[in-house]
A and B are shown apart, each in its own frame.
Chain A
């Protein structure tokens, strides 16, 4: 209640005026030439994405080794894919990977961004906050090939960094073959992915926070709102656009994440860390069954597209309702 009082002058704006305003806006929108701004993007999209994607779909109806003549097999590749248990059972791993690459980093990133911006930044100066932000962002910069080697050292059985550290602090009983045990391998990868991903939401959110009018925070502080209250009532609602974007982009990244799997476990032990995108990659480049690979890529793209479409229409409906 206390916070609401600060908004004093704005209460003048009656719903009536707002309605009139929005009607005026709608009337004027029509011909400002906005669609023209889409032309360069649309043209490039057509050449670099739409046509190749169409070709990919075409390839998926063929048996093909990448070079030379194709053999038309119709829906053969899709029929084979439907029956391929390795592909479908690996989807469950992808759900967990979405948790590790999208849900957890977005949540942590949100809290950390707010803490750095609205707490540490104010107590110890913005420089402290930006140094910490840089450190947390750094994993995003590491090339994946190097990342695979380093985490291999850390998670190595026997005398890996993690196991040695556990032994040093007297937790020797917890040492484990992190990437070798099918029960722990996926969780180990999830931990690595959290490490990699945190920096992305953090930087986006901190940039978003700078967009917010400082008046909001000042007003809330003047009213004695605690950090947690400011987080809930100022940070979270104001940063909502970025929040949606980060969550969706990280989810998409998780659905495409063959490279970390490739450098860490190759999908093993057994198939315990296999995911559909790695499966697709294998067919393209290791088995040179390009037609089958194209079918898996098409199916993956469609699934991701559906998730994206649902997500965005929800996001926009919510925003339009708020407007």
Chain B
């Protein structure tokens, strides 16, 4: 049977389902998406409740009336503006520096195919696979030695290294499959190693780099243990650490916790949505014929 007739035959039998199938699939995905974001609705709902309302009717009842008291109270309690700025600075700096570091590492490992690259890569990955609690005490003593305890710089440096482990791995795997012919062509044009990195490799890998940037930002944003230990002063604190304020020794102020949660999630969501647009744009640029 020729290709053509085969396709014709298939087209013929599938005409009807073809129209309903996509809609069915779409509906399925929309339901799945709604289920995935439903918990966020619960957070939002309780963030705008009063604690008396919560006490009387529990977490699942709709708020009797809208109250922004918890949001305001939490904002003032932890000086949320400052906390937000700290988190944005730390996450932003880590995202950029870690992408940079990943690119340099992966260029040598994936494109340069430096000898012993498998073992070098595994060594880099130790940064990621080491349980963080095991790093806490040593890093505390080191940071204190060099006067960087309770500074955001220390946290930025630490997370740059930890996050870049993943970036190095992902990028060197992807660059390992980089079309050699493009590199050869660039070399023939007289481009050096450094120039090829910035003019050929980086632009082509841009979608992956954007993904890394987004991940690094959000992962660092949500990091808890090391900021908890390293950022002692309130003026250096990050969002996840500040969230703990709603939790006392014995009693948790749940509505306050929900309010703080909502405030903590929103910036990261906004960041993701902005970068998700860049992601798609990156593709269209790359796909220009």
User: 8 Å CB contacts to A: which residues of B110-126?
Assistant: 111-114, 118, 120-126
Chain A residues contacting B29 (CB-CB under 8 Å) are 112, 115-116, 120, 132
Known: A41-B164, A143-B243, A150-B39. A136 touches B128 (CB 8 A): no
Chain B residues contacting A126 (CB-CB under 8 Å) are 280, 283
A141 proximal to B (CB < 8 A): yes
B78 CB, nearest partner CB in chain A, Å: 14
**In the complex, A315→B118 CA distance in Å?**
10
By the criterion CB–CB under 8 Å, are B207 and A145 in contact? Answer: no
By the criterion CB–CB under 8 Å, are A115 and B25 in contact? Answer: yes
B236 proximal to A (CB < 8 A): no
Which single residue of chain A is at the shortest CB-CB distance from B127? A49
A23 CB, nearest partner CB in chain B, Å: 13
By the criterion CB–CB under 8 Å, are A142 and B108 in contact? Answer: no
Q: A48-B158, A146-B43 are in contact. List 9 more A-B contacts (CB 8 A).
A: A37-B112, A52-B135, A120-B29, A143-B222, A144-B240, A242-B173, A290-B137, A297-B134, A316-B118
Known: A32-B112, A211-B174. A134 touches B273 (CB 8 A): yes
B200 proximal to A (CB < 8 A): no
Which single residue of chain B is at the shortest CB-CB distance from A28? B187
By the criterion CB–CB under 8 Å, are A252 and B174 in contact? Answer: no
Most A Cβ at <10 Å: residue of B108, B193, B257: B108
Interface size on B, residues (CB 8 A): 108
B276 CB, nearest partner CB in chain A, Å: 6
Chain B residues contacting A297 (CB-CB under 8 Å) are 130-131, 133-134
DSSP class of B's interface residues: helix, strand, loop or mixed? helix
Known: A304-B129, A308-B122, A319-B176. A33 touches B138 (CB 8 A): no
B151 proximal to A (CB < 8 A): no
Question: Taking beta carbons and an 8 Å cutoff, which residues of A are in contact with B?
Answer: 2, 5, 21, 25, 29, 32-38, 40-41, 44-45, 47-53, 55-56, 59, 66, 112, 115-116, 119-120, 123-124, 126-128, 130-147, 149-151, 153-154, 159, 161, 164, 195, 198, 200, 203-204, 207-208, 210-211, 214, 223-224, 241-242, 244-245, 248-249, 252, 255-256, 258-259, 277, 280-281, 284-285, 290, 293-294, 297-298, 300-301, 304-305, 308-309, 312-313, 315-316, 319
Contact partner, A56, options B39, B128, B138, B221, Cβ 8 Å: B138
How many A-B residue pairs have C-beta atoms within 8 angstroms? Tell me.
Answer: 296
DSSP class of A's interface residues: helix, strand, loop or mixed? helix
By the criterion CB–CB under 8 Å, are A2 and B6 in contact? Answer: yes
Chain A residues contacting B56 (CB-CB under 8 Å) are none
**In the complex, A142→B258 CA distance in Å?**
12
By the criterion CB–CB under 8 Å, are A207 and B279 in contact? Answer: yes
Question: Taking beta carbons and an 8 Å cutoff, which residues of B are in contact with A?
Answer: 3, 6-7, 10-11, 22, 25-26, 29-30, 32-34, 36-37, 39-40, 42-43, 58-60, 101, 104-105, 107-109, 111-114, 118, 120-139, 141-142, 157-158, 160-162, 164, 166, 168-170, 173-174, 176-177, 180, 193, 197, 205, 207-208, 210-211, 214-215, 218, 221-222, 224-225, 239-240, 243-244, 247, 254, 257-258, 260-261, 264-265, 268-269, 272-273, 276-277, 279-280, 282-283, 286-287
By the criterion CB–CB under 8 Å, are B174 and A141 in contact? Answer: no
By the criterion CB–CB under 8 Å, are B129 and A301 in contact? Answer: yes
Task: Jot down 28 A-B pairs with beta carbons below 8 A, ordered by A.
Answer: A34-B108, A34-B112, A41-B105, A51-B142, A53-B130, A53-B134, A59-B137, A120-B25, A120-B26, A130-B276, A135-B33, A139-B36, A141-B269, A142-B40, A145-B257, A146-B260, A149-B257, A154-B39, A203-B214, A204-B170, A207-B210, A207-B211, A241-B173, A241-B177, A277-B131, A308-B122, A308-B129, A312-B122
By the criterion CB–CB under 8 Å, are A145 and B39 in contact? Answer: no
Chain B residues contacting A115 (CB-CB under 8 Å) are 25, 29
**In the complex, A160→B272 CA distance in Å?**
30
Contact partner, B265, options A38, A49, A143, Cβ 8 Å: A143
Contact partner, A44, options B160, B243, B273, Cβ 8 Å: B160
